[in-house]
Copies of this chain bind each other. A is one copy, B any other.
């Protein structure tokens, strides 16, 4: 399996060794000493999923926690009438399972091909109790996610479609920076429908808004899954809904 698209790193293979794991520096395992890492590896199983595969369902007992090793994951909640809200996209290095004391509060699915490090909840919990640093790291993560969540509430409740999509693109662009990848080129691993369900819009509005941003010369769309930011500062202004 080799891709033609240029990228900073490639995470197509399931990691089998935490010590050489490329994403470790961004994951919760970054804080672990070598012997702690060994303890972590002992409770780790690896899991690969094809695009669209379910990882777990909302309401299911939370038996496992995960690190995303490669690929994109979406987490979401559903309404009885079928409407879906994607509450987040997870990327390599992200931790999956926070906020789930007993049952998962949301569903999770693979957007692309995905490799996961899977931990048994109970084993992970006892490991957290043994390694102080991991608990701190989790708290840090939870706080970061809380900040992102509040940002997203502002977006969902008070931003225009144009500002919503711009904010989304900027978030992806900034995420690129963590991987030493160019900040002005974004690979969209998710569909327009996913984006719509993340931003509280419809597919059509997302599509029209892309067209608008393209027409205004703020972005280019050389391919449907590739966005090039032409005017970063302009995009930032639009994202903040200046009037």
B99 contacts A147, CB within 8 Å?
yes
Closest chain B residue to A58 by CB distance?
B150
A158 contacts B87, CB within 8 Å?
no
Q: Which residues of B contact A159 (CB under 8 A)?
A: 79
Count of interface residues, chain A, beta-carbon cutoff 8 Å? 43
A150 contacts B79, CB within 8 Å?
no
A residues in contact (CB < 8 Å) with B? 77, 79-81, 83-85, 87, 98-101, 105-106, 132, 135-136, 138-140, 142-147, 149-154, 156-159, 197, 199-200, 240-243
B79 contacts A241, CB within 8 Å?
yes
Q: If the complex has contacts A150-B87, A150-B105, A158-B200, are A242 and B80 also in contact, measured as CB distance less than 8 A?
A: yes
A116 to chain B, nearest CB (A): 20
B146 contacts A99, CB within 8 Å?
yes
B153 contacts A101, CB within 8 Å?
no
Report the Cα distance A168→B144, complex, angstroms.
25
Stoichiometry (number of copies):
2
A31 to chain B, nearest CB (A): 14
Report the Cα distance A191→B136, complex, angstroms.
38
B101 contacts A140, CB within 8 Å?
yes
23 contacting pairs across A/B (C-beta < 8 A): A77-B154, A79-B158, A79-B240, A80-B240, A80-B242, A81-B241, A87-B150, A87-B153, A99-B144, A99-B146, A99-B147, A101-B140, A101-B144, A105-B146, A132-B132, A135-B136, A138-B139, A139-B142, A142-B142, A146-B149, A156-B156, A157-B197, A157-B199
